[in-house]
Amino acid sequence: MNKFDIAVIGAGPGGYSLALILAKAGNKVVIFEESFFGGNCVNRGCIPTKTLMKSARIANTLARSKDFGIDSENYYDLQTMFKNVANNSAKLQNAIKGGLTTSNVTIIEASATVIDENTIEANGSQYSFDKLVIASGSRPNFFKIEGAEATNVYTSDDLLTKNPKFDELTIIGGGAISLEFAYFYASFGKKVTIIEAAPQLFANLDESISRAAKAVIAEKGITLYEATKVLRYEDGALILENHDGHIYHKTNNILLAVGRRANNEAFASLNLKFNEKNFIEVNEFFQTSIDHIYAIGDVTGKLMLSTVAYKHGDIVAKHIITGSSDEKFNARFIPWTIYATPEIASVGSSEQQLQAQGIDYEVAEIAASSLPRAHAENAFKLGFIKLIFNKKTFEILGATIFLDEASLLINQIALAIKSKLTILDQYLLVI
């Protein structure tokens, strides 16, 4: 039997980065990955969608080119865009595999099955381990819509891999994936509708996120239904229900963007504890209910971002190497972005969270129309910067940036929050 110090299931951001750290520290490491080195980020999430969004943003810039004294033709080729997605993913997959190989991490390109608390089986061979890290990721939720069996119902994975052709798309669900796909297809003339069951988009986040998202939706001519239930599909239409009664929405193409579920099949034999949504429960060091088995990334149901998975992996690697770790994961310091035009980025606490905690706070907000650069770039009609700060100490607690290049600017605010800077410090820093 092959014996290893550490076994890792899944070569996504958390899995492969952790494997590299542990191998560099002298551990004998094996990583199991069936097909997608880089995980969802490289193959089904961050990189593919950002590749497409780059094309969409260029298209939107070209559509406004006459405002800058430039005349251009409005031509696009979706096939080339999706070819770019595949090429970028392949390049990054190869880079990750190369890095693991160079670091003497044993790579098993096969589906792994945990057969007991110290043994994995793959391709007919068995591998024993002292510690196991589960980084198996997640996949899109899927549910059947009554009557839609013969209709085109997609997940985000389907759109990225199959590049289906259509002139209209209805998206069920109103999260980041929904907004980015809506923005992409609307940028190329497709008729897009978003249906959200909650009272408003991003209802569990700061109100500014919903406000920014709706501004993008309105700008792109996307139809939005909030507080609306999907009942069934009948005669070429989704039957919807909201406060106005029943709505018959004609569509032949449906994207389900209703969250993600954990890939739990590989370790069904283990007696692990799961939460009500079937994600693995972990402690502050990401140990499961079995001490020598850890879980990181999407499979824990935490904030599903590659940056989060990297941080999980870093904390677990330190815990395995040293036996302890002073560092704790804090989602408040992790920024995130929705890539539209303008971009929507956020970090820190929301107003709702601060109200629940009884923290006295103030809000400072400046519109894009008050920013000279926004006028210089003719980007002043949409956008704002919102900072939330402690009313007594002026310490920055949270922020939303709705501007071009918000994905870069938000990192400055994240550092300010982690460093406990005040709004006065940040004001001086920005100026």
Q: Is 51 inside any structural domain?
A: yes
Q: Is 113 inside any structural domain?
A: yes
**Same domain, yes or no, for 266 and 248?**
no
What tens digit of pLDDT does each residue of 267-292 get? 999 999 999 999 999 999 999 999 99
**Same domain, yes or no, for 39 and 134?**
yes
| Of 70, 11, 8, 63, nearest in space to 35 by CA | 11
Q: What is the pLDDT of residue 328?
A: 83
Is residue 259 a known part of a binding site?
A: yes
180: containing domain: 152-256
User: Which stretch of 14-18, 168-172, 240-244, 328-332 has the lowest confidence by average pLDDT?
Assistant: 328-332
Is residue 18 a known part of a binding site?
A: no
Do residues 249 and 240 touch, judged by C-beta distance below 8 A? Answer: yes
Q: What is the pLDDT of residue 299?
A: 98
Could you give the dihedral angle defined by the CA atoms of residues 127, 133, 137 and 143, in that order, rounded to the nearest 10 degrees?
80
**Same domain, yes or no, for 229 and 306?**
no
**Same domain, yes or no, for 46 and 116?**
yes
Q: Is 145 inside any structural domain?
A: no
Is residue 175 a known part of a binding site?
A: yes
Strands 191-195, 223-225: pairing is parallel
Residue 90 has pLDDT above 60, yes or no: yes
CA angle 178, 184, 189 (to 5 degrees): 120
What's 343's domain CATH number?
Answer: 3.30.390.30
Is residue 12 a known part of a binding site?
A: no
pTM given for the model: 0.93
Q: Locate tokens 């449906």: which residue?
A: 254
| Of 211, 230, 228, nearest in space to 219 by CA | 211
Q: What is the pLDDT of residue 172?
A: 98
Residue 431 has pLDDT above 50, yes or no: no
Using a pLDDT cut of 90, give the percent of the chain over it.
Answer: 84
Is residue 397 a known part of a binding site?
A: no
What tens digit of pLDDT does each residue of 195-237 get? 999 999 998 999 999 999 999 999 999 999 999 999 999 999 9
**Same domain, yes or no, for 8 and 134?**
yes
Q: What is the pLDDT of residue 430?
A: 53
**Same domain, yes or no, for 228 and 289?**
no
Q: Is 144 inside any structural domain?
A: no
Is residue 173 a known part of a binding site?
A: yes
Average pLDDT over residues 140-149: 94
User: Which stretch of 9-13, 19-23, 72-76, 180-184 has the lowest confidence by average pLDDT?
Assistant: 72-76
Which CA distances in Å does 31 have to 112, 132, 253, 278, 322? 10, 10, 38, 24, 21
What tens digit of pLDDT does each residue of 191-200 get? 999 999 999 9
| Final residue belonging to a domain, choices 221, 256, 291 | 256
| Final residue belonging to a domain, choices 276, 292, 322 | 322
| Final residue belonging to a domain, choices 299, 322, 345 | 322
**Same domain, yes or no, for 112 and 240?**
no
What's 170's domain CATH number?
Answer: 3.50.50.60
Q: Is 427 inside any structural domain?
A: no
Do residues 7 and 118 touch, judged by C-beta distance below 8 A? Answer: no
**Same domain, yes or no, for 8 and 105?**
yes
Is residue 176 a known part of a binding site?
A: yes
Average pLDDT over residues 80-86: 95
What's the rounded Cα separation, in Å, for the pair 195 and 228? 7
Residue 75: which pLDDT band, with cuts at 50, 70 and 90? confident
User: What distance lies between CA 256 and its chain's CA centroid?
Assistant: 15
Length of the chain: 431
**Same domain, yes or no, for 32 and 103?**
yes
Do residues 240 and 225 touch, judged by C-beta distance below 8 A? Answer: yes
Average pLDDT over residues 33-47: 93
- By CB atoms closer than 10 A (0-12, 13-18, 19+), residue 203 is middle
Is residue 425 a known part of a binding site?
A: no
Q: What is the pLDDT of residue 150?
A: 86
In three-state secondary structure terms, 387 is: strand
In this structure, how many other beta carbons lie within 10 angstroms of the beta carbon of residue 8? 32
Q: Is 146 inside any structural domain?
A: no
Residue 224 has phi, psi (to 5 degrees) of -125, 130
Q: Is 77 inside any structural domain?
A: yes
| Of 297, 300, 277, 298, nearest in space to 288 by CA | 300
Q: What is the mean pLDDT of the chain?
A: 93
**Same domain, yes or no, for 75 and 200?**
no
**Same domain, yes or no, for 272 and 126?**
yes
> How many structural domains is the chain composed of?
3
**Same domain, yes or no, for 251 and 267?**
no
Q: What is the edge-to-edge ordering of all strands in the sheet holding 253-256? A: 152-154, 253-256, 168-172, 191-195, 223-225
Q: What is the pLDDT of residue 427?
A: 60
In three-state secondary structure terms, 204 is: coil
What tens digit of pLDDT does each residue of 93-111 get? 999 999 999 999 999 999 9
Q: Is 429 inside any structural domain?
A: no
